[in-house]
Amino acid sequence: MTTTPSRRPARPASLPPRGLPGLDPAWSRLVPSPDADGRVRTWHVLDTAPDAGADGPGVRGTLLCVHGNPTWSYLWRDLVARGAAAGWRVVAVDQLEMGYSERTGVRRGLAHRVRDLGALVETLGLTGDVVAVGHDWGGVIATGWAAAEDAHARARAGAPAGRHRAVERPRRLAGLVVMNTAAAHPAEDPAPGPLRLATLPGVLPLVTSRTDAFLRTTLALTHPPLAADVRAAYRAPYRGAADRAGVEDFVADVPVGPAHASRPAIDEVAAGAERLGRSGLPALVLWGPRDPVFGEEYLRDWRRRLPGADVHRFEGAGHLLPEDADVAGAVLRWLDTRLGSPAAPPAEEEATAPEGSPHVPLWTRLDERADSAEEAVVEMGPDGVARRVPWSLLHRRTQEIAAGLLEFGVEPGQRVSLLVPPGADLTAAVYAVVRIGAVGVLADAGLGLRGLTRAVRGAGVDVVIGVSRALVGARVLGWPGRRVAAGPVADEVLRLTGTRVTLADLAALGARRLAEGVALPPAPEPSAEAVVLFTSGSTGPAKGVVYTHRQLSELAAAMGATIRIGPGQGLVSAFAPFALFGPALGATCVVPAMDVTRPATLTASALAAAVAASGSTSAFLSPAALVNVLATADALDDADRAALARVQVLLSAGAPVPDALLQRARTLMPLADPRSPYGATEVLPATDVSLDEVLAAGAGEGICVGRPVEGAVVAIAPLDADGHAGEQLVLDADVTGEVVVGASHVKDHYDQLWLTQADSVAVRAPAGAAPRRWHRTGDVGHLDAQGRVWIEGRLAHVVVTGTEVVTPVGVEQRAESVPGIARAALVGVGPRPARQLAVVAEASEPVARTSVADPELAEAVRTATGRDLVAVLLVPALPTDVRHNSKIDRVRVAAWAGRALAGERVPPLVPGRAGGRRR
Amino acid sequence: MRVLVTGASGMLGRETARAFARRGDAVRVLQRRPSGLEGTEEVLGSITDPDAVRAAVAGVDTVVHLAAKVSITGPHAEFVAVNVDGTRTLLAQARAAGVRRFVMVSSPSVAHAGSALVGAGTTPADPGAAHGSYAVTKGQAELLALAADAPGFAVVAVRPHIVIGPGDTQLVQRIADRARAGRLPLLDAGTALIDTTYVDNAVDAMLAAADRADVAHGQAFVVTNGEPRTVAEVFARICAAAGVPAPTRRVPAAAAKVAGSVVERVWTWGRLPDEPPMTRFLAEQLSTAHWFDQRRTREVLRWAPRVPLDEGFRRLAGGFGR
């Protein structure tokens, strides 16, 4: 690569002006260094330890930070400050033609810039561990440098490049951190999104150098907007058109098409990234998904090239990630974990727990029943007619779809989103997907369209298998992935959504291949990813939870033991995970007639029909479904009642289940001792309790959820005076803290949420506890002297006043015991030392608009709760989750109450539900 | 202690004088009309009259200064004459007479520029930002008083917030009268949290400020019951104590502020006799939160409210003969 001569004006390097927010002038230095062509150019770099060799005492290594376009080293100011404080030498460069580095008058292509950086590293004499950090096109250049560095080191060591762990890691390159950047650029894709316009002839100089439109646009991409002084600091080195020539050149260097001059260079970076991925180099990919330039497809590409990389998506953050998210904190924590902290031994993040039982693949029982004519799935139609699918058919269809998916090009490790309601189709598709080693993504429609879109996009789905409605959603909302139709879909929908294949087509295709003697591949490794389940999203954006094949089998076993169901038994449920576990347990799944996305549509008659048609004696209902069953019990005839009277096992879970609800359920199902297991998407189930046990436990602080299920341990991370839960776990009774569950069926990890995962397993096991996988639930509660677990609320909803830490559920239960109060939420009002408690409640007689409870009611609530509540506000409705209509969003209530009680005129707490009688 | 209490005709001044006398201090009171207080020496006269003031401070070691023009409207010059000039006169005469402790009774409104105060600390008086002649002139007076703090002349500013008690003509009686006449609306839903102070607790704080002047001097302290309640609940409980129906009618606070500004001017220009139905100041006071962090007050003054709000409202009902 040669440089293109240019008549652009040259300008020497300079130091940034003083007083830029967050930038310490002591970090800045000018470094003369030969460039790729051997000519000495002057760089401006931020360097926290110019005199200390990286091997010097107290220096852990060097973070080599490379900005993109059109930013400068200012982007890294937070990492520079905190990295230095954590013992790192941080070197953040201004690339030549950019920031305060020299304007040389030379156009620099990608290959040139990679070699410029390499030459600078030699001039700086960096030794010891070096971690390359890059953002935007700086990520490409940093990766290019890292790949070249790796290749040189291997050449010196005499080993062939790219051999998997063939040689020890080269001494200097210790890690790679990239964010919102590209490892590769497909030749057919002209330029990432908005850059396309900028690369049109004539437009480019206009938007990039002659005006500062490109600069302004990029700086406007933050969430929230940048402070004016920070924005000014980013623009400081790019005041005049001549200062911005590098900005123009950078955009012009985006490799448009196969003939672009930088095409070979970007292809080399892409290949280099892949070699680094194979070498086992510690790598971290940080991502802001709200990036109009580098979309999720670039993140997927990074994950393919660096399969061992730790990935964290900062939901809600965008392109200028270091401005939107705590990048410095993430990088430093990752360095401590992956490269070892000087203070502590490397964190045992992925606890190696002795796995319970030998691995039994999920489909073992299905395979055993390949010739059975007994029912595997019973789907109840709205007309009361049952569709019965025998094991033999379910098995055959699973095999056929599996073969069809392979034929369709689905590869092991690829992700297949299943947007199909519970029933035989879902069960067959899930088993086919996991059987061939692909990863099933199960997101519940209860997330709502926005939540679902975020989940499907974020999970990086390769294929969507969906019913008609889901396909339309996929098309309209731009979900990624090839589409496969499930169930009846009109031709019109197929055409409009670009769907060319149905599940039936895949099965037919697979059947032909199987008939030709094609065999399914060997079963996936037990440690391979099997499914991604999504959390409810009631406590922030829904998170993907990854289970491996081994954990999935453990989970199925734990579920079977908890709900007491095994081979030959039937379970009535509309709970999607049962599509997964029913066949694994050899049990019959019975799906009642209802809109499964809305649990409250299950009627008593539909439940009775499902029980009668299948002869099942077990039912699993969400609390919302159970409420509706009881509300519609009047429509039952004698036969229905007789059917329900045969139910022996009644389970309700997914949200707190009031005792009174289970007691009323027992009037319909007198044989059943209703049970209410407690758990979370990350650990389903954790504890189990029956109604009789709850009644025997009596009143206490919170909700009694019983004892840990077989093989699980529940420990407590005590709350400190600030309401924070530490890492040390205890098993002591009557200590309130975060509830932490240890079990072999705990999730493997959160999907692309490295920091969240690290947080969720950051524990020090209680004294005497056997090593196991732990999960911090985010719930607070305590153990009692009998070993029962009591849930007192969510950690995020704990109220810390000047004098105490108050958990919400106990106070709310006592408030709800007051006649006139239907449902209550405890909130804190005011700044911390003076913070006061208040209750926001739904009244038994619904109010039409926000009101202050009259003094008698307020006093009754104060007396019942034993708290000096500054206010009891009555509202038409409290905000709850979509899925259960029972998890109150207390963070939102607290923010709203804070404004209302400050005297602000506030909109209704739940939009659209005030001012009327709609409830 | 030999104490002068100025402004002993109001509820707080009267009760403060009584409390000093009850504990055995020699008490003199200064106000324009006879107070009828037993066991106190009475000087009749205005705080704006230097001779009356000189006579009042002679021989006392402690002054508790409550006399002020408190109304919501009126010509600004009248507020200045009583609240600012009167305080200046009293400070000068007190120093000259060898007074050692001076308790300046002020108001949280001196530091309130109209925005919500939520768990607020005590910030310096800011007459430039305060709203209404009362708050502006009381702010100027507090600054004068604290500036006079010097060795041998310990000045403490105490700002009780919304004092309620039996016999209060300032707030309780007005609320009850308006509610009875159906002229008491709630601004918005009446959800703004406000602090109130039961009179006995405010009186205790006056005594505490005098007793702790040696350590508390030079500072201002907000005094409240430490039990913030919504405006709606405070109104409802005052009405319940008075035996009148609580307000249910709602008026948008923004509209009330605009209307209040207009009414305020009309009343001031017209020199109408009664208090106006609504002023901008009142609209703000009744629609914005103002409650306070009491920790420093309690710590420095070694004072804590003895009468909880609940008991206070019971006693208030007793005062209404209920």
List strand residue ranges (DSSP E) for A434-518, in order.
Answer: 439-442, 463-466, 482-485, 501-502
Q: Please give the class, per CATH, of domain A805-901.
A: alpha beta
CB–CB contact A871 B193 (8 Å): yes
- Phi/psi for A465 (5° steps) reads -105, 115
Q: Residue B158's pLDDT band (boundaries 50, 70, 90)?
A: very high
Buried b vs exposed e over B210-229: b needs ≥16 C-beta within 10 Å?
bbbbeebbebbbbbbbbbbb
Look at residue B156 in the predicted model and tell me its pLDDT: 97
Among B230, B282, B286, B293, the strongest candidate for a mutation testing the A interface, having the largest count of A CBs within 10 A, is: B230
| CB of B193 less than 8 A from some CB of A | yes
List the single residue in B with minimal CA-CA distance to A904: B288
Residue A805 and residue A723 in contact, taking contact as beta carbons nearer than 8 Å: yes
Contacts with B192 from chain A: Cβ below 8 Å:
901-903
CATH architecture designation of domain A30-338: 3-Layer(aba) Sandwich (3.40)
Instruction: Provide ipTM, 2 decimals.
Output: 0.88
Between CA A815 and CA A482 the distance in angstroms is 52
**Mutation for B interface: A801, A850, A870, A875, most B CBs within 10 A:** A870
Q: Does B192 touch chain A (CB under 8 A)?
A: yes
- Tell me which H or E stretch contains B91: helix B86-96
Alpha helices in A599-658 (DSSP H): 604-614, 623-631, 638-644
- The pLDDT value recorded for residue A915 is 38
What are the tens digits of pLDDT across the range B82-102? Answer: 999 999 999 999 999 999 999
Under the banding of pLDDT at 50, 70 and 90, the label for residue B249 is confident
Chain A contact for B70, CB < 8 A? no
B235 touching A, CB under 8 A? no
Confidence of residue B230 (pLDDT cuts 50, 70, 90): very high
**Interface membership of B31 toward A (CB under 8 Å):** no
What Rg do the C-alpha atoms of chain B give, in angstroms?
A: 19
pLDDT greater than 90 at residue B155: yes
In which band, very low, low, confident or very high, does the pLDDT at B144 lie, cut at 50, 70 and 90? very high
The structure tokens listed for A441 are: 């993504």
The answer, for A478 touching chain B at a CB cutoff of 8 Å, is no
To the nearest whole Å, the CA of A864 is away from the closest chain B CA by 15
CA A248 to chain centre: 36
Distance between CA atoms of residues B233 and A899, nearest Å: 17
pTM of the model as a whole: 0.85
Q: Do B191 and A871 touch (CB under 8 A)?
A: yes
**Contact list, A859 vs chain B (CB under 8 Å):** 310
Tell me whether residues A870 and B289 touch, CB distance under 8 A.
no
Q: CA of B239 to nearest chain A CA: how many angstroms apart?
A: 11
Class of domain A391-563: alpha beta
pLDDT at A54: 46
The answer, yes or no, to whether residue B282 has pLDDT greater than 70, is no
Position A2 scores a pLDDT of 44
User: What's the Cα-to-Cα distance from A250 to each of A205, A276, A287, rounded to whole Å?
Assistant: 11, 25, 21
pLDDT at B263 over 90: no
Cα–Cα nearest to A683, from A763, A775, A578: A775
Are B189 and A851 within 8 A, CB to CB?
yes
**What average pLDDT is seen over chain B?**
87
Interface contact B189, partner A, CB < 8 A: yes
Q: Do A870 and B192 touch (CB under 8 A)?
A: no
pLDDT, mean of each 10-residue run, chain A (919 residues) = 58 95 96 94 93 64 96 97 94 97 93 96 91 97 96 77 44 92 72 62 77 88 93 95 89 81 91 94 96 88 93 94 96 92 46 61 95 94 90 97 96 93 92 97 78 84 91 84 90 89 95 94 94 78 92 90 87 78 92 83 93 90 88 94 93 80 90 90 92 90 92 95 94 96 93 94 85 90 96 94 92 94 94 92 92 94 95 93 73 93 87 45
Joined tokens for residue A537: 């999203």
CATH homologous superfamily of A678-796 equals Luciferase; Domain 3 (2.30.38.10)
Q: Which residues of B are less than 8 Å from A835 in CB distance?
A: 119
Q: Does A871 touch chain B (CB under 8 A)?
A: yes
What's the pLDDT at A894? 94
Query: Exposed, middle or buried by CB within 10 Å (0-12, 13-18, 19+), for A24?
Result: middle
Rounded-to-integer distance, Cα A622 and Cα A600, Å: 9
Nearest 10 degrees: CA dihedral of A851, A855, A860, A863? 110
Rounded Cα distance, A284 and A550, in Å:
26
- Closest alpha carbon to A328 in A570, A523, A79, A93: A79
pLDDT for the residue numbered A39: 94
Whether residue A802 lies within 8 A of chain B, CB to CB, comes out as yes
Report yes or no: B87 and B28 within 8 Å, Cβ to Cβ: no
Hey, what CATH topology would domain B2-161+197-224+291-306 get?
Rossmann fold (3.40.50)
Q: Does residue B281 carry a pLDDT above 70?
A: no
Q: With an 8 Å Cβ cutoff, is B182 touching chain A?
A: no
Question: Are A871 and B230 a contacting pair at CB < 8 A?
Answer: yes
Beta-bridge partner residues of A873: A840, A852
* Nearest Cβ partner for B237 among A830, A855, A873: A855
pLDDT given at position B196: 93
Q: What is the pLDDT of residue A50?
A: 78
pLDDT at B29 over 70: yes
A14 close contact with B: CB closer than 8 A:
no
CA separation for the pair A375, A16 (Å, rounded): 75
For residue B314, the distance in angstroms to the closest alpha carbon of chain A comes to 13
Chain A positions touching B229 (Cβ under 8 A) are 870-871
- Best probe of the B interface among A801, A849, A872, A901, by most B CBs < 10 A, is A901
**Torsions phi, psi of A119, nearest 5?**
-65, -40
Catalytically active residues of B, by annotation: 134
- H/E element holding A864? helix A855-865
Please name the residues in contact with A40: beta carbons below 8 A apart, sequence gap of 6 or more: A32, A33, A34
Q: What are A696's two structure tokens? A: 């025997």
Cβ <8 Å between A901 and B288: no
Residue extents of the structural domains in chain B: 2-161+197-224+291-306
Contact criterion met (CB < 8 Å) for A836 and B232: no
Best of A875, A904, A906 to substitute, by most chain B Cβ atoms within 10 angstroms, is A904
